[in-house]
């Protein structure tokens, strides 16, 4: 767990966009208590990379060569909804964690 957090903290340092969520909570594992989770409609995604650029904790990766083209590290996603808000296709839904699984 400790090593995983340290690894993620190093990754976050390379992020271009920092905000309070990233600087204070970036390395916190939020996978078990986040309230909302981003769910991508891959069929509508145009792989523009906007979500990747705007995520304050740098947990989004867009893969142009894959059908499931947007990968989100849900162990560290904060559920802030910035990706969903910025997506030009509005193909990211913020879903109540209690309604999944
Ligand atoms: S911002 Fe939206 S359309 Fe662009 S890559 Fe992300 S999910 Fe796809
Ligand atoms: S909700 Fe989106 S922008 Fe916010 S931390 Fe998760 S992936 Fe990043």
45 in ligand 2 pocket by Cβ < 6 Å?
no
CA 46 / ligand 1 centre spacing (Å): 6
End-to-end CA distance of the chain: 23
SS (H, E, C) 14-56: CCCCCCHHHHHHCCCCCCCCCCEEEEECCCCCCCCCHHHHHCC
Which residue ranges form the domains of the chain, and what is each CATH number? Answer: 17-99 (3.30.70.20)
CA 83 / ligand 2 centre spacing (Å): 6
Q: By the 8 A CB rule, do 49 and 87 touch?
A: no
Comparing 47-51, 55-59, 87-91, 92-96, the range with the smallest average pLDDT is 55-59
State the pLDDT confidence band at 1, using cuts at 50, 70 and 90.
Answer: very low
**Predicted pLDDT at 32:** 76
pTM, 2 dp: 0.79
pLDDT of 45-78, one tens digit each?
999 999 999 999 999 999 999 999 999 999 999 9
CA 7 / ligand 1 centre spacing (Å): 26
**The two structure tokens encoding residue 27:** 């390395």
């Amino acid at each position: 767990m400790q090593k995983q957090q340290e690894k993620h903290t190093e990754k976050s340092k390379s992020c271009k966009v920092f905000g309070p969520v990233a600087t204070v909570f970036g390395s916190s594992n939020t996978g078990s208590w986040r309230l909302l989770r981003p769910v991508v409609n891959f069929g509508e995604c145009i792989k523009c990379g906007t979500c990747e650029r705007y995520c304050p904790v740098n947990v989004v990766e867009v893969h142009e060569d894959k059908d499931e083209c947007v990968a989100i590290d849900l162990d560290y996603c904060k559920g802030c909804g910035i990706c969903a808000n910025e997506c030009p296709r509005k193909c990211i839904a913020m879903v109540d964690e209690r309604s999944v699984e």
